[in-house]
Structure 1
Amino acid sequence: MPLHRLTTITIGVPDVDAAAAYYTEFGLTPLGDNAFATSDGGEQFRLTHSTQRRLVEIGVGVDDPDDLDRVQRQLDALSLDTERSDGSLTATEPIAGFRAVVSIAPRIEQKIVDPTPYNGPGRVDRPDSRAPGIERQGQVVPHKLGHVVIGSTDQAATQKFFTDGLGFKISDTVPSMAAFMRCSTDHHNVLVQQAPLNFLHHTSWQVDDIDEIGRGAMAMLEGNPERHVWGLGRHHIGSNFFWYLKDPAGNFSEYYSDIDCIVDDALWKPGVWEGARSLFNWGPPPPPSFLMPEDLAALMTGSHSSE
């Protein structure tokens, strides 16, 4: 596919300094000017001031000018205005109003992380040694931005912007509720869900394995238990392990590992999911605040501020 990854995301928050401190503690590397990097993806996250928390911009990478031409034709067919410059194309999503910037960008190159050895019935893959996960020291550092979840008051229209406009592919759906869409081999890079208002639900960041999810979350919760949202668990759609935390503005951030990868489109069978499996396979039940974040009423009335 001409698209190959998420490049960056920019979010608006009332208190930039508080959010910057949170995401630095989360494991992103500050670059200055409220920009942050992952270990493999380079600069992938930016903060800007806004009276309410919101998604400002999402970036998508392509290989060459021909890919930009293709995306522009698709957006033109939807009668959407675009701005073209050397190496990039910008369009505004018509429902939530965030910018989508499609740019020529290098494909992400990730160093191979050795599989974690596990002992099992009749199998000793880790003889005479402790589990690596309990020996690890230091901060958990995400490898890359994996996906973004967006609430839209018109899920179908926002989905169409990503699929028909930008060229994302659908991996799985929840009828009349959500679409899991990809611009890479990862199961999903954007999820759009029906919501009572337009908002950013969460960003998701790849780490090595389930131990890194646990280590990262426990470090974030030490002294700050109010940051906990949901986890530890495993999603059914996408299969990834997860733990969700909450930043000072109310956005959720997820550590994830072991997500499904779709290398050959012809071999993947998109599913339609309902009920509990649309949310998770195992783990604690999702709290009401995950399904309907506690600040949505304030966002709807415009009273969410830096107070």
Structure 2
Amino acid sequence: METPYPTPADTPVRVSKLGYVEFQTPDVDRLTNYYTKVLDFVAVEQDQSEAYLTTSFDHHAVVLKKAADSKARTVVGYEIFEELSDAQRRLTAAGYSVERRSDIAPSTPDVLVLAEPLTGSTIHLYDAQSTSGVEGYTPIRPSKLGHVASFVPDLGPVQDFYQGLLGFRWSDMIGDFFVFLRCNSDHHAANFMASKKFEGMHHIAYEMRDLNHLQTMLDHLAKNDFRLHWGPGRHGAGHNLFTYHKDPDGNNIELFTQLDVITDEAKGYFEPRPWHEDYPQYPKTWEVDLVAVNAWGPIEHSMIEH
């Protein structure tokens, strides 16, 4: 298995999942309406300047903050397995500037704050959120926040940060510019594309339970005048079925299902699926071609133009 940026000997922080992503928007009400009426999230807290939205028992998966202009992925929050004091000590020892704050959000009273290399985004590390009060799922609502993809000017420092500092594992690569990183059994919670042309977030992705659930949501999108600009298709890296549309601020939203998982890190291969190209399917570097990006064709150019 290829590991171009191996984890250093010192124990990294143990991230357990992607918890939330923050968006800045000039119209909090408009974007909240999209999330609650179209994607069927629940607004746990909301006023004119901010909103906290969730799909499950966690207090929030999406944070909306009022700003003059739209900007995606200004903050990314990750839940960790361990005490914050231990994580802070190791991060500081590794040379990263870390601030511990208790005023971030009503549901996360204690948060470690640090800067992601090269992007300008802020990373939050926390050990728990308060509960949202939401019980169960509706026929429409996504099951969870799945992953977030971003452009970066250079993969090296970002991979060093996520793999060496936060304990992410290398899942796949497309060419020499597109990397997929996992923090739990899911194929990726974060993926990054090296680009001198683009910056910021490429897309944010929400998981649907199965193909029927995805179809139900797509029909619901159509009834609310949201049209797909790519998909349905199947990615090669990760093998998830995908669709992409844009939210009212122009952010790319992926709805997906059937993402690859690794349930046994010691074995190191993805759980077998009939549509895999290799048997077993190990993490690898993919050629930049149709199979890697969309086995069903065609390619969406922002996935390969960099």
Task: State TM-score, norm by structure 2.
Answer: 0.77
Counterpart of 1:159?
Answer: 159
Corresponding position of 1:95: 118
The answer (yes or no) to whether the contact 1:12–1:54 under 8 Å persists in 2 is: yes
Q: How far is 1:286 from its partner?
A: 3.0
Equivalent residue for 1:258? 258
Query: Partner residue of 1:204?
Result: 205
Alignment equivalent of 1:58, drawn from 76, 86, 92 = 76
**Matching residue of 1:121:** none
Aligned-partner residue type, residue 99 of structure 2: E
Q: Is the 8 A contact 1:88 1:102 kept in 2?
A: yes
Query: 1:297 maps to what in 2?
Result: none
| Aligned 1:1-307 pairs, distance under 5 A | 2-24=14-36, 25-33=38-46, 34-50=51-67, 51-65=69-83, 69-70=86-87, 72-74=89-91, 76-77=93-94, 79-85=95-101, 87-105=110-128, 139-195=139-195, 196-225=197-226, 227-268=227-268, 269-274=282-287, 275-282=289-296, 284-288=297-301
SS of 2:60's partner is: strand
- CA distance 1:62–1:289, shift in 2 (3 Å): closer
Cα distance between partner residues in 1 of 2:176 and 2:88? 26
Higher helix share: 1
How many percent of aligned residue pairs carry the same amino acid?
Answer: 27
Shift of 1:232: 1.0
Distance 2:284 2:202 in 1: 23
TM-fit CA distance, 1:90:
1.2
- The SS at the match of 1:181 is strand
For the residues of structure 2 that align with 1:197 and 1:68, how far apart are their CA atoms?
Answer: 36
Summarize the Cα distance change of 1:175–1:287 in structure 2 as closer, same or farther, 3 Å threshold. Answer: closer
Distance (Å, rounded) in 1 between the aligned partners of 2:57 and 2:152: 30
Determine if contact 2:18/2:147 at 8 Å carries over to the other structure: yes
Match of 2:5 in 1: none
Moved over 6 A (4+): none
| Structure 2 alignment gaps of length 5 or more | 1-12, 103-109, 269-281
Give the number of aligned pairs: 261
Q: 1:249 to 1:191 in 2, by over 3 A?
A: same
* Whole-Å separation in 1 of the counterparts to 2:161 and 2:283: 19
Counterpart CA distance in 2 for 1:68 and 1:231 is 44
- Name the CA distance, whole Å, in 1 between partners of 2:40 and 2:224: 17
Per the alignment, in what secondary structure is the counterpart of residue 140 of structure 2? Answer: coil
Deviation at 1:152, TM superposition (A): 1.2
State the match for 2:107 in structure 1: none
Per the TM alignment, residue 292 of structure 1 is displaced from its structure 2 partner at its CA by 6.2
Indicate if the aligned counterparts of 1:95 and 1:152 stay in contact, CA closer than 8 A: yes
Decide whether the 8 Å contact of 1:209 with 1:258 is kept in 2: yes
Deviation at residue 224 of structure 1 after TM alignment: 1.7
The answer to whether the Cα contact below 8 Å between 1:63 and 1:105 also exists between their aligned partners in 2 is: no
Distance 1:71 1:233, change over 3 A: farther
Change beyond 3 A, Cα 1:72–1:49 = farther
**Partners of 1:68 and 1:89 within 8 A in 2:** no
The 1-side partners of 2:100 and 2:264 are apart by: 31
- Taking the aligned partners of 1:94 and 1:175, their CA distance within structure 2 comes to 22
Does the 8 Å contact 2:16/2:80 carry over to 1?
yes
Matched residues in 1 for 2:211 and 2:294: separation?
Answer: 16
CA contact (8 A) 1:13 1:52 kept: yes
Write the distance in 2 (CA, Å) between the matches of 1:184 and 1:171: 11
